[in-house]
Structure 1
């Protein structure tokens, strides 16, 4: 039962193969088994590849099964249509389209499995890229807020400098009127005279202005600091909102790019493995020696080709003969007087009927 199933997978003619030796049947069972297991590998590899895309096991299994059946049917068709000839080059030319397709399929299928095999290394590369992207993202977002924050900080510094300058001026006036009272400066007279009162009044005015300026600028500084805090909150929010995009940077293309940054030699050998798997049915058929089945199959094709050629030749001869006979028959009929008289009578009757009909039409018109 298993042998017959694998023979079916090989695409061989079971009626011809039943008349062959057991060794010949085993050879084609082996070719069929290669076709079958190649389809199984194609199903597994494509299912995993699709799982990395859709992240749904049922969808992946469904489309993976379709892909496996497609590869099975394609391999079975190509293997069954490769005819064993005495010239290996002609056989290779027959298999060339499938070999090219096998290379393409091997590239497509090997990549997902490479990503699974080198998953830890790929995750490390992706982590480094995500960290770099996070820092770059923070710097880019900071460019939107840093100029505003720096401008606000400069405004705070300016307001504080105003207070400091006013405070220095007030302190200087304080020292001036104290020195006047002590007689160490100004008029040099000890006591609180008119000059002292004038300087004290000026100091008190500056002190009032300083108090007002402190209150006003403090309120402005608090408002500016609130703006800076708000900008900081907006910056943190922007970073937080953009971080999931960076964290989700692990799709199929990102993993392929990360895989390409790893050493190429291991990936190359995995590709060669899948190329060998994909081309295994073709290689098995090409390497198989011409056997009993091939000779019988060639004989059957020769019989059919000869029979069809004979039928075509007979039809052409029949057509030619029939044409010559018809031509001779009509030439003989042409020379018969009885047929001439009969056709003449019928022609005369037709002309009379036409004349009568024309006459009636003319009368009706009048």
Structure 2
């Protein structure tokens, strides 16, 4: 039962292969088993590759199965269409396009499994790339908000500087009227005279201005600090919102690129392994000697070809013979005087009718 299934997988003609020896049947059963297992590996590889894309087991398994069936059909077609020839060069020339196709299929199949085999190393590369992307993203977002933050800080510092400047002015006026009262500066007279009162008045006015300025600027500074906190919160939110995108940077293309950054030799040998598996049915058929099945298949094809050539020859012979007969028949008819006189009579009648019609038409015009 299993042997029959593998023979079916090989694409061999059942009527011919079952009339061959047991050894010939085993050879094609082995070829069919290789075709089947290659398709199974394609199914597994495609399912894993699609899982990294869809992140859903059922969807990945379904489309992976479709891909595996496609590979199975292609391999079965490739093996079943290779014919054994009398010269190996002819067989190799015939199989070259199929070998190239098998190489492409092997590369496509091997890549997802390479990704799975080197998953830990790929995760390390992706982690480094994610960290670099996170730092670059934070720097880019910070640069985006930096202008507003710098402007806010400059305006806050300007408000604080105005208060400080006014405080220095008030302190200077305070020192002036105190030293005037002490008689150490100004008029150098001890006591609170008119000059003292004038300087005290200037100080009190400046102090009132300072209080008003401090109140106004304090409110503005509070608003600016709140605005700065809002900008920083927006910056942090922007960074946190973009972080899931960076964390999700582990799709199929990202993993393929990460695989390319690893040493190429292990990946190359895995690809060679799949290449050997994929091309093994073709190589086996090329290297195997011309067997009983090949002779019977060639005999059946030659029988069909000979029958087709014979039918074409008979059709051509029938056509040429029939044409010759008709040539002779019409040659005899051409020499019949009775038929000649009859056609002459009818022709004269047609000419007379045409002349009468023309004369009537001309009379109508006149």
After TM superposition, give the deviation of residue 27 of structure 1 in Å: 0.9
After TM superposition, give the deviation of residue 59 of structure 1 in Å: 3.1
1:6 aligns with 2:3: no
> Does the aligned pair in 2 maintain the 1:16–1:293 contact within 8 Å?
yes
1: CA distance between counterparts of 2:324 and 2:298?
A: 39
Match of 1:306 in 2: 306
Q: How does 1:266-281 map to 2 (within 5 A)?
A: 266-281=266-281
Helix, strand or coil at the partner of 1:189: coil
The alignment's C-alpha RMSD in Å is 2.7
Match of 1:51 in 2: 51
Write the deviation string for residues 317-360 of structure 1: whole angstroms up to 9, x where unpaired.
3333333333234334444xxx5426645764787699799989
Helix, strand or coil at the partner of 1:72: helix
Between 1:90-99 and 1:348-357, the stretch displaced more is: 348-357
Helix, strand or coil at the partner of 2:168: helix
Write the deviation string for residues 83-126 of structure 1: whole angstroms up to 9, x where unpaired.
11232222122122222122222222222222222222222222
Helix, strand or coil at the partner of 2:187: coil
2: CA distance between counterparts of 1:104 and 1:282?
A: 14
Between 1:67-76 and 1:305-314, the stretch displaced more is: 305-314
1:119 aligns with 2:116: no
Helix, strand or coil at the partner of 1:84: coil
TM-score by length of 2: 0.88
> Does the aligned pair in 1 maintain the 2:177–2:200 contact within 8 Å?
yes
Match of 2:33 in 1: 33
> Does the aligned pair in 1 maintain the 2:41–2:109 contact within 8 Å?
no
Q: How does 1:351-362 map to 2 (within 5 A)?
A: none
1: CA distance between counterparts of 2:18 and 2:202?
A: 127
Match of 1:207 in 2: 207
Unaligned stretches of 5+ in structure 2?
none
> Does the aligned pair in 2 maintain the 1:141–1:239 contact within 8 Å?
yes
Between 1:42-51 and 1:130-139, the stretch displaced more is: 42-51
2: CA distance between counterparts of 1:333 and 1:183?
A: 162
Match of 2:249 in 1: 249
Unaligned stretches of 5+ in structure 1?
none
After TM superposition, give the deviation of residue 26 of structure 1 in Å: 1.0
After TM superposition, give the deviation of residue 23 of structure 1 in Å: 0.9
Match of 2:294 in 1: 294
Q: 1:334 to 1:58 in 2, by over 3 A?
A: same
1: CA distance between counterparts of 2:216 and 2:233?
A: 26
> Does the aligned pair in 2 maintain the 1:51–1:57 contact within 8 Å?
yes
Between 1:309-318 and 1:102-111, the stretch displaced more is: 309-318
2: CA distance between counterparts of 1:326 and 1:161?
A: 122
Helix, strand or coil at the partner of 1:190: coil
Q: 1:211 to 1:353 in 2, by over 3 A?
A: closer
TM-score by length of 1: 0.88
Write the deviation string for residues 256-298 of structure 1: whole angstroms up to 9, x where unpaired.
1122112212211221122122212211211222112222222
Match of 2:164 in 1: 164
Q: 1:342 to 1:224 in 2, by over 3 A?
A: closer
Q: 2:338 aligns with which of 331, 336, 341?
A: 341
Q: How does 1:57-96 map to 2 (within 5 A)?
A: 57-96=57-96
2: CA distance between counterparts of 1:345 and 1:160?
A: 131
Q: 1:88 to 1:72 in 2, by over 3 A?
A: same
2: CA distance between counterparts of 1:186 and 1:235?
A: 57
1: CA distance between counterparts of 2:346 and 2:166?
A: 140
Between 1:307-316 and 1:98-107, the stretch displaced more is: 307-316
> Does the aligned pair in 2 maintain the 1:49–1:109 contact within 8 Å?
no
